[in-house]
Amino acid sequence: MDIEHFKHRHFRPSLIVSLILSILIVILASTLGRSTLNLKGAVTLDEPKEITVIALVEPKLQEDVHISDIRFLRREEASNGQKAIYAYHVQTNDGNDYFAKLKFDPSSATWTLDQFEKLYGN
């Protein structure tokens, strides 16, 4: 680029466009970073929520399969004064049903997927 051919009327629009694009990139990066922190934080909650089930079950599913419905089934009291074990019914977009049991791991202070099985019906 020849600096002597650079005019003020071309400089201002390019400056505005670059400023807007920079702001959009920062917003996108902060949004993605925040959502990643939310997923990591979901695994360390006192009691598991739907986001915890999503964070633990989604990696076990095939790439094009996603969770369409989560239903809480039961809460089982754990022995030795540990946190309760939670059971969920997970339905995917391909029509399959799964049973997921979440257990708290005191060594890592996170919820883990203790049992994950496909359900078969009539």
Per-residue pLDDT of the chain (122 residues; tens, 9 = 90+): 566 666 677 778 888 889 999 999 999 998 888 877 766 677 777 788 888 888 889 888 888 899 999 999 999 887 777 888 999 999 999 889 999 999 988 888 888 898 999 998 75
Distance of alpha carbon 54 from alpha carbon 114, whole angstroms: 14
**Domain locations along the chain:** 3-39, 43-119
* Model confidence, pTM: 0.65
Q: What does residue 57 show for φ and ψ, rounded to 5 degrees?
A: -90, -40
DSSP string across 70-114: EEEEEEEPPSTT-PPEEEEEEEETTS-EEEEEEEEETTTTEEEEE
Quick one: pLDDT at residue 91?
A: 94
Quick one: pLDDT at residue 2?
A: 60
